[in-house]
Amino acid sequence: MAQTNEQQSNETVKQTESKQTVYNVQNLNLWYGEDQALYDVNMKIGENDVTAIIGPSGCGKSTFIKTLNRMVEMVPVVRTSGEISYRGDNIFDRSYAVEDLRTKVGMVFQQPNPFPKSIYENIVYGPRIHGIKDKKTLDAIVEKSLKGAALWDEVKDRLDQNAFGLSGGQQQRVCIARCLAIEPDVILMDEPTSALDPISTAKIEELVQQLKENYSIIIVTHNMQQAARISDNTAFFLNGELVEYNDTNTLFSTPGDKRTEDYITGRFG
Amino acid sequence: MNYIDEQTVQKNMGNRIKKNKMWRWLFFSATMIALLFLAALAYRILTQGIGGIDWQFISGFTSASPERAGIKAGVVGSLWLMAVTAPVTIILGVATAIYLEEYAKKGRLTNFIQTNIQNLAGVPSIVFGLLGLTIFVYVFNIGEVILAGGLSLALLVLPVITVAAQESVRAVPTDVKEASYAMGATKWQTVRRIILPAAIPGIITGSILALSRAIGETAPLLVVGASTAIFTLPNGIMSPYTAMPIQIFSWTQQPQQAFQGVASAGIVILLVILLLMNSIAVFIRNKFQNRY
Amino acid sequence: MESNPNEGNKQQSVSQRIQSNRQNRSGLMIIESLVPKLLLLASIISVLVTVGILYTLLSEAITFFTQVNFFSFITGLDWSPWQGRYGILGLVSGTMLITVIAMVVAIPVGVASAIFLSEYATDKWRRILKPILEVLAGIPTVVYGFFALTFVTPILRAIIPGLSFFNALSAGIVVGVMIIPMIASLTEDAMSSVPNEMREGAMALGATRFETTVRVVLPASLSGIVASFALGISRAIGETMIVAIAAGATPKFTLDPTQSIQTMTGYIVQVAKGDAGFGTTIYYSIYAVGATLFVFTLIMNLLAQFISRRYREEY
């Protein structure tokens, strides 16, 4: 992966050669009421990359990832300025239906949040709401998605059981499978392993490696080792600013910014 | 010198502990008053009423003679009333709850509707009778029929059902709703496929409790013109009618002592139906508790 | 939306089908924009109910006041409609008498029960007692009325010589019992919202349970408790069937609880079951009485809301 390192703190733009850009974030600012949570973020995210977003608590990393599928708007007092283009279209455009965006950009949350329904119903929820109703297709989707989330062998005999009966790690993989069922383009993961035990975490990390073959993945994590293990590129956020964004190896071995270095060497956070 | 005299403290301590014990006993006795009252009521009604319950009583119309009086018209009338009240009040109540919890923006209108519901809950039931008499019986001119009675009861218990439905909708965790929205579901899809199914046990429980309140209501029905003596069964929502509590009330008004037994028998039937409804509500509540 | 640039290798039938379904979703969008309007409509109905109540009471009461002098209505002590005398105070005094008796029963018993449940009772007792209170709250008032007339009155008559067969005392006591669960549960809610740290603080200083309750918990939850009294009073004022059955139908301006009296609600029932012809002065009088009743209960309800909002303790 060839690249050039530009290391101005706020305008750090990662350049990839052969790859398509999925997201292009330009001058993004975000406020919760009077409080500004993101300051002038500029960032390009490439296709089939795993992009990790790290930073201390309250740095805006979670807010940022929720802006990418506009889930951040669930809070009524949110305002934004700037632009996020997804595959060339500005997602803040009035004519851009938020449901269209979220159909192509799936999300996995911090706490596993399966629906209080059977495993099967959890997976077919997405296809159903998007108009796929024939049983045969749905059955095929369930198998494919559960296989994709490395869960098929564990649950194939109890698809009609409530998803709440599964362990935390399995629930999180149900959520991933649910996300895969509508074949998104991008998967956003908001600290997907923070509520899980180490074994489940390892499974999810392994899964992320497999998923990047077919999906672009953006993952927020507070765990720097995790970012180093699984991501191609890493962005470091601090106090709502994108401090540094670079190839993961470079960022961790030769950070370009003093603050990044302080953070990854554990001096704060 | 010591500010605190050990001996006085010790002496007072004994008194204070005694006082605590005495009050504990008083509070307990006060609580027992409610229990005793309920026991007396149950004992009295059962001993007086259970003997009067036979096939004649269940299958007969009311009568001028206590031996032949029956509650059939009352039971059937109450069921007809519920057939009107239940759909109207559940649909309106659940819709209002969903609007207030999921759609309405926080603001003046929402506050106003919410306060209004709270105030309606405090309006005496007989005032709903006056409302029904004017609006349904005279303005809409539908007469003193089941429809008028059922609609009046529906409006009476609307706040109860709305508040219960609001609580159940509010209890659906945000993260489950978020999961739905994050998959590109629209608001209505999320409400219909995620929020409503999760809230339905609470809604059913609340509905049953509200309907058991409606089925025991007497005053508004008297005002909107339920009959006390009727000798045919209703054949539709536009029929004249009576209801269980109306029959019981009319029997309490009879001068003959023997009608007390008839009234008791009627009360036993009414209470059994209420008990049944409440058991179903409690069963549903327990069965679906701790789903999250 | 334009098509995805890297179709072929990863976009397969499912996502394509979803995309094409999303193109034809006009039906979905119609529902999506219609639903909030329908739901709002349902919410508006509850507002219309209030409007309907106000309209009904006002318009019919105004008709009544074209036939009966308003001033003599609100100041008259004699309520004898069949003789053409409409002095509302004759009914209001009956309502007040019932309310005072009811609150004398309901407040001490209700608060004491709440204190027992919230501060003293073990979990086991609570599990037994709370459902009993719920059952008591769920009994139809016609049943209470029957019980007052056939059980409480005979007992009282054995104790108090000269007690009328229909009397305010028996009805008032039973209305009070009916209200106990309401006051008990609202008071208990108020008390259990007092944080445990405050109790622990007092007990750690050596205060007994009773001292902690009286000096810490009750003062801290006072607004909720007083609000429950206001709601209880509102219930007592509006209670109909108990008084219609047990208190009699003879309006008089008296404070003597042994007498037969009539309340505002009792009068409405009397007229309703007697079938006074539509359009007569007596017919309109039930609306004037209903309006007076409504004003009394509304004031108590607003008072309750005001108290619990104004003096809400923040923990």
Work out the pLDDT band at C58, boundaries 50, 70, 90.
very high
Q: How far is A231 from chain B (nearest CA, A)?
A: 23
For residue A213, what are its two tokens? Answer: 């073959």
pLDDT, position B284? 85
Complete DSSP assignment for B91-125: HHHHHHHHIIIIIPPSSHHHHHHHHHHHHHHTS-H
Predicted confidence (pLDDT) at residue C11 exceeds the cutoff of 70? no
Count chain B–chain C contacts defined by CB atoms under 8 A. Answer: 243
By CA distance, what is A128's nearest residue in C? C18
By CA distance, what is B190's nearest residue in A? A129
Work out the pLDDT band at C312, boundaries 50, 70, 90.
low
Q: Which residues of C are less than 8 Å from A100 in CB distance?
A: 1, 22
**Domain of residue B150, residue span:** 58-287
Predicted confidence (pLDDT) at residue C112 exceeds the cutoff of 50? yes
Same domain? B196 vs B268: yes
Same domain? B66 vs B183: yes
pLDDT, position B3? 76
Q: How far is C14 from chain B (nearest CA, A)?
A: 14
pLDDT, position B152? 97
Give the tens place of pLDDT for each residue, A126-178: 999 998 999 999 999 999 999 999 999 999 999 999 999 999 999 999 999 99
For A235, phi then psi, to 5°, come to: -115, 135
| Axis crossing angle, helix B72-98 with helix B196-215, rounded to the nearest 10 | 140
> Would you tell me which residues 163-182 of chain B have a C-beta closer than 8 angstroms to some C-beta of chain A?
173-176, 178-182
pLDDT, position C277? 78
By CA distance, what is B179's nearest residue in A? A113
Q: Which CATH number is associated with domain A21-264?
A: 3.40.50.300
Predicted confidence (pLDDT) at residue C118 exceeds the cutoff of 70? yes
Same domain? B113 vs B18: no
Q: Report chain B (292 residues): mean pLDDT per 10 consecutive residues.
A: 75 86 93 92 92 88 85 94 97 97 90 93 96 94 94 97 96 94 94 94 93 96 87 90 95 90 95 92 77 49
Whether residue B287 lies within 8 A of chain A, CB to CB, comes out as no
Measured in whole angstroms, the distance separating CA A159 from the mean position of its chain's CA atoms is 26
Work out the pLDDT band at A17, boundaries 50, 70, 90.
very low
Same domain? B32 vs B108: no
pLDDT, position C23? 77
Q: Which residues of A are less than 8 Å from B201 in CB distance?
A: none
Q: Which residues of A are less than 8 Å from B181 in CB distance?
A: 71, 74, 102
Distances in whole angstroms, Cα of residue B232 to Cα of each of B71, B77, B91, B145, B262: 12, 10, 31, 13, 20
Same domain? B139 vs B283: yes
Q: Hey, are the CB atoms on B118 and C113 less than 8 Å from each other?
A: no
Cβ atoms of B30 and C109 closer than 8 Å: yes
Same domain? B38 vs B93: no
> Would you tell me which residues 71-100 of chain C have a C-beta closer than 8 angstroms to some C-beta of chain B?
none
Whether residue B27 lies within 8 A of chain C, CB to CB, comes out as yes
Give the tens place of pLDDT for each residue, A77-133: 899 999 999 999 999 998 898 999 999 999 999 999 999 999 999 999 999 999 899
Judged by average pLDDT, the poorest of A5-19, A99-113, C268-282 is A5-19
pLDDT, position C151? 94
In angstroms, the CA C36 to CA C31 distance is 9
Work out the pLDDT band at A18, boundaries 50, 70, 90.
low
Predicted confidence (pLDDT) at residue A8 exceeds the cutoff of 70? no
User: What is the total count of domains within chain B?
Assistant: 2
Q: Does residue B187 sit within a domain?
A: yes
Work out the pLDDT band at A75, boundaries 50, 70, 90.
confident
> Would you tell me which residues 268-307 of chain C have a C-beta closer than 8 angstroms to some C-beta of chain B?
268-269, 272-273, 278, 286-287, 290, 293-294, 297-298, 300-302, 304-305
Q: Does residue B127 sit within a domain?
A: yes
Q: Which residues of C are less than 8 Å from A183 in CB distance?
A: 10-12, 14-15, 18
Alpha helices in chain B (DSSP H): 6-49, 55-59, 72-98, 108-121, 125-132, 146-170, 174-182, 187-190, 196-215, 219-223, 244-252, 258-287
Give the tens place of pLDDT for each residue, A221-241: 988 999 999 999 999 999 999
Output the average pLDDT for chain A.
Answer: 89
Q: Which residues of B are less than 8 Å from A195 in CB distance?
A: none
Cβ atoms of A174 and A149 closer than 8 Å: yes
Q: Which residues of B are less than 8 Å from A183 in CB distance?
A: none
For residue C38, what are its two tokens? Answer: 């329908």
Predicted confidence (pLDDT) at residue C305 exceeds the cutoff of 50? yes
Q: Does residue B292 sit within a domain?
A: no
pLDDT, position C315? 58
Cβ atoms of C110 and B237 closer than 8 Å: no
Phi-psi region of B278 (alpha: psi -120 to 50; beta: other; left: phi over 0): alpha
In angstroms, the CA A126 to CA C6 distance is 22
Same domain? B242 vs B264: yes
Distances in whole angstroms, Cα of residue C147 to Cα of each of B124, B175, B216, B228, C152: 21, 51, 15, 20, 7
Give the tens place of pLDDT for each residue, A52-61: 999 998 899 9
Closest CA to A57 of A225, A248, A221, A254: A221
The predicted model gives C288-306 an average pLDDT of 95
Predicted confidence (pLDDT) at residue C9 exceeds the cutoff of 70? no
pLDDT, position B289? 62
Touching subunits of A (3+ CB pairs, under 8 Å) are: B, C
pLDDT, position A250? 93
Closest partner CB to B183 (pick from A102, A114, A116): A102
Q: Does residue B248 sit within a domain?
A: yes
Work out the pLDDT band at C275, boundaries 50, 70, 90.
low
Distances in whole angstroms, Cα of residue C52 to Cα of each of A243, B113, C256: 62, 15, 37
- Residue B1: CB atoms within 10 A of its CB come to 3
Closest partner CB to B184 (pick from A103, A164, A178): A103
Closest CA to C278 of C270, C286, C269, C288: C286
Q: Does residue B1 sit within a domain?
A: no
Q: Which residues of B are less than 8 Å from A103 in CB distance?
A: 183-184
pLDDT, position A23? 95
Q: Hey, are the CB atoms on B260 and C150 less than 8 Å from each other?
A: yes
Same domain? B63 vs B47: no
Whether residue B197 lies within 8 A of chain A, CB to CB, comes out as yes
pLDDT, position C295? 97
Give the tens place of pLDDT for each residue, C163-218: 999 999 999 999 999 999 999 999 999 999 899 999 999 999 989 999 999 999 99
Predicted confidence (pLDDT) at residue A9 exceeds the cutoff of 70? no
Closest partner CB to A100 (pick from C1, C4, C10): C1
Q: Hey, are the CB atoms on A106 and B185 less than 8 Å from each other?
A: no
SS3 of B252, please?
A: helix
* Percentage of the residues of chain C whose pLDDT score is greater than 90: 74
Same domain? B75 vs B138: yes
pLDDT, position B285? 80
Relative to beta strand A78-86, strand A50-54 is: unpaired
The predicted model gives C84-110 an average pLDDT of 96
Relative to beta strand A216-220, strand A233-238 is: unpaired
Instruction: Please report the sign of the dihedral spanned by the C-alpha atoms of residue A96, residue A99, residue A100, residue A106.
Output: positive
Same domain? B134 vs B45: no
Closest partner CB to B184 (pick from A76, A102, A115): A102
> Would you tell me which residues 117-136 of chain B have a C-beta closer than 8 angstroms to some C-beta of chain C?
117-120, 122-131, 134-135
Mutation for testing the B interface, residue in C53, C264, C302 having most B CBs under 10 Å: C53
Same domain? B42 vs B159: no
- Which CATH number goes with the domain that contains B150? 1.10.3720.10
> Would you tell me which residues 224-263 of chain C have a C-beta closer than 8 angstroms to some C-beta of chain B?
231, 234, 237-241, 244-245
- Residue C110: CB atoms within 10 A of its CB come to 32
